[in-house]
Amino acid sequence: MTVPTKPQVLPARPHFSSGPCAKPPGWEAARLATESLGRSHRSKIGKARLQLAIDLTREILGVPATHRIGIVPGSDTGAFEMAMWTMLGARPVTTVAWESFGEGWVTDAVKQLKIDPTIVRADYGQLPDLSTIDQSNDVLFTWNGTTSGVRVPDGDWISDTREGLTFADATSAVFAYDLPWDKLDVTTFSWQKVLGGEGAHGVIILGPRAVERLESYTPAWPLPKVFRLVSKGKLTEGVFKGETINTPSMLAVEDVIFALEWAKDLGGLSGLMGRSNANAAALDKIVADRPWLGHLAVDPAARSTTSVCLTVENADEALVKKFAALLEAEHAAYDIAGYRDAPPGLRIWCGATVDTADVVALGPWLDWAWTQVKP
């Protein structure tokens, strides 16, 4: 049997992990500002840098002044659970799940908070019929399914006269899609996705209706300190002005400020979306040209342009592990095996911090690896 020739061109940055994701082009640790390091986050400079991260987030995402933005502990998971623990229980709840993180919120609602939600599910690769959701309920959903590659195409299904609150886990969606802030009462994400920032910190964005819920409703269960957003019946406004609930990593804060300033130089959200869309289009061409590859997300309108999940002909878990390991050993692609709970396949990050030229260069390497592992 003839051993196929390896491609001659490697991706310059083979960082295709779906989190933590590739750093912005040109990133170097030496380029980060350091004045806040070794200082208290409560110092004048510490609070100023945290506030700058909030202000840049608002500017780039176009978050209206009616919405508050806070930096919280625990990455996106911490931010979303903070919202669940502090606001759920006031009215019936619907949880929507079509991948593993949505299922995680189902588990929390059922087994931890014990609120007996209505559960709307779809298989990996599918999106449930969102138009059937009862919007007198609070509704929990992931905007972009990181482990399935399925996204919500738009917010048209969310009623302007809804009685319940919308809770959007948008960690792989913000900075890649133009989100309808008037439709979102609670939105959470982490820096480690589209911005290529560091983990451990989350962001929570609260609309006016969420603030009203926090100030008018007290949950039946005890709240850990890191979840408490209200003091004496009023929102703790300092959280949304750079006064974080617990001590943040100022190095992580400086890292995300670098990414946000890079995004601003690109032209803000439109520039970020343009890069992500170009990457997804380049990968889509690779998939279309190879009969052994496919998209896990069947409907193109509901297909993620960030965490793109691919099917591989006759793949099982062992084949996928071998496939990914071969490419990692050649420094052609890092961390592209699909999520452990998803159907066996590949997952290739196409967010804005990835260069389109590297996606294009990946195609021949996928061919090479396929010839090594195919049944």
| Same domain for 41 and 114 | yes
Give domain status of residue 115, yes or no: yes
Question: What distance in Å separates the CA atoms of residue 161 and residue 136, rounded to the nearest whole number?
Answer: 9
Are the CB atoms for 70 and 246 separated by under 8 Å? no
> Which pair of structure tokens corresponds to residue 174?
């913000």
pLDDT in tens, 240-288: 999 998 899 999 999 999 999 999 999 999 999 999 999 999 999 999 9
Same structural domain, 205 and 126: yes
Nearest to 331 by CA among 294, 285, 362: 362
| pLDDT at res. 375 | 85
Q: Is the pLDDT of residue 191 over 50?
A: yes
- Amino acid code (one letter) for 295: H
User: pLDDT for 356-367, tens place per residue?
Assistant: 999 999 999 999
Final residue of a domain: which of 241, 264, 287? Answer: 264
In a domain, 83, yes or no: yes
CA-wise closest residue to 193 among 274, 305, 107, 106: 305
Question: Which residues constitute the domain of residue 164?
Answer: 29-264
H/E stretch holding 357 reads helix 356-373
Residue 148 inside a domain? The answer is yes
CB 205 within 8 A of CB 169: no
Asked which of 232, 264, 296 is the last residue of a domain, the reply is 264
Quick check: 117 pLDDT over 80? yes
Residue 251 CA to residue 350 CA, distance in Å, equals 25
Q: What CATH number is attached to the domain comprising 281?
A: 3.90.1150.10
CA angle 190, 192, 196 (to 5 degrees): 135
Alpha carbons 344 and 86: distance in angstroms, whole number: 36
Whether residues 327 and 194 share a domain: the answer is: no
φ and ψ at 81, to 5 degrees? Answer: -70, -35
For residue range 154-179, list pLDDT tens digits in order: 999 999 999 999 999 999 999 999 99
pLDDT at res. 224: 92
pLDDT band at 4 (very low <50, low <70, confident <90, very high): low
At 138, which CATH number? 3.40.640.10
In a domain, 16, yes or no: no
Is 14 a member of any domain? no
Boundary (domain end) residue, out of 233, 264, 295: 264
Give a yes or no: residue 5 inside a domain.
no
pLDDT category, 5, cuts 50, 70, 90? Answer: confident
Q: How many helices (H) and strands (E) does the chain have?
A: 8, 14
Coil, helix or strand for 348?
strand
Residue 12 included in any domain: no
The predicted structure's pLDDT at residue 1? 44
Quick check: is 68 in a domain?
yes
Neighbours of 291 (CB within 10 A): 8
The pLDDT of residue 171: 96
Q: pTM above 0.85?
A: yes
